[in-house]
Amino acid sequence: MATGIKDKVVIAGMGCTRFGERWDMSSDMLMVEAFEEATRDAGIERNRIEAAWLGGALDDINVGNSAIPLATALRLPPMPVTRVENMCATGTEALRAAVYAVASGAVDIALALGVEKLKDTGFGGLPIRTKGSVNDLWMPYGSAPGTFAQLAGAYAAKHGIPAADLKRAMAHVSWKSHQNGVHAEKAHLRKAVTMEQILNAPMVADPLGLYDCCGVSDGAAAAIVCTPEIARSLSRDALVSVKSVQVCASNGWEMQYGEWDGSYVRNTRIAAQKAYQEAGISPKDLGLTEVHDCFSITELVTMEDLGLSEDGRAVFDVLDGKFDATGKMPSQIDGGLKCFGHPVGASGLRMAYEVYTQLKGRAGARQLANIDFGLTHNLGGQPSNSVAAVSVLGRLE
């Protein structure tokens, strides 16, 4: 009978590059930057790593479709090295693979690294790929802002939220993240903005304005994971354990049947419930969340999908400051995708890096008090055809 992964794996060390327009850095150089910080943090030499996973989402413009670039850039000793891809959940998939390898007993020490370099393409957004039935049937007919604008409309219609109230709540989501991002030294955008700037910004896809959308950037993040026994031999600090990692992909139900009303993301709800069960916690036990705020409406709806707000109440919780840095449940304490941008393969691991940093008490000006558990969430694709990933980190029991 399956017993889950709770407390079977410890994060020995993590690394994260500065995210941004890294014109002077190749993907290989970004990988090295993240990896060197992770090895220093863990106190583990590369020859002790037994297996590695590379997360990269856009093979045609990034590192290619194999994991060989990871092995060569890091000069890894001969070992299994694998590339994984699962849309915006790619970084979390790399972490999940490394964690599962250690939890299974196959290896004692493993590496997960995610990287994406998007700014060099000269393209303002993510390239659209048209391979496979999902992309062929639906993706050519909708942009990312367009599909998430539909989520906003469906959510407001279902719960009877006036357009002005929804717009103010979405603006507060972005305002809060920009306030937090000022204190995140590795963020792409570190400038606070006013509510007036957000509300008066140009429209992208009604009701999403410019500040409701995250940008693209370059970046990499890495995690070295190991058994609790090895972790105890390496550090006397508080040990950060992986409590759960859950992934749930759409099977087409949302687009092919009439039951879904478009106001929530089913996959997130399923992944979250499984993650809480595996971790042995409830949503109220969380001290912070790093969620997939590709758009402000995504973060707002995700609060309900994660069980942090009751259905139809996230608008009011947001406006009441529940998810602010000083609120009951801080979200995006480092500024999130809104301030870091979204180098797809790296984002999931970047989120884990922030939770890990908070649990270690190393977050400086943005450090939160009394953190026992933190959650990360990714949402790949569009609300109707998506993959959701939810992980819970906490101190080793």
Instruction: Say which DSSP state 291 is in.
Output: -
Give the C-alpha distances (Å, rounded to integers) separating 338 from 17, 183, 376.
17, 14, 15
Burial class, 259, CB count within 10 angstroms (exposed 0-12 / middle 13-18 / buried 19+): exposed
DSSP per residue, 83-128: EE-BTBTHHHHHHHHHHHHHHTTS-SEEEEEEEEE-GGG--SSPPP
**Active site members:** 88, 342
- What is the distance between the alpha carbons of residues 34 and 336, in angstroms, rounded to a whole number? 18
The contacts of residue 214 (CB under 8 Å, 6+ apart) are: 293, 294, 295, 336, 337, 338, 341, 342
369-385: b (≥16 Cβ within 10 Å) or e: eebebbbbbbbbbbbbb
User: What is the Cα–Cα distance from 227 to 342, expressed in whole angstroms?
Assistant: 30
Long-range interactions of 28-31: CB distance < 8 A, separation 24+: 28/63, 28/69, 28/72, 28/73, 29/73, 30/115, 30/117, 30/218, 30/219, 30/220, 31/69, 31/70, 31/73, 31/74, 31/113, 31/115, 31/220, 31/222
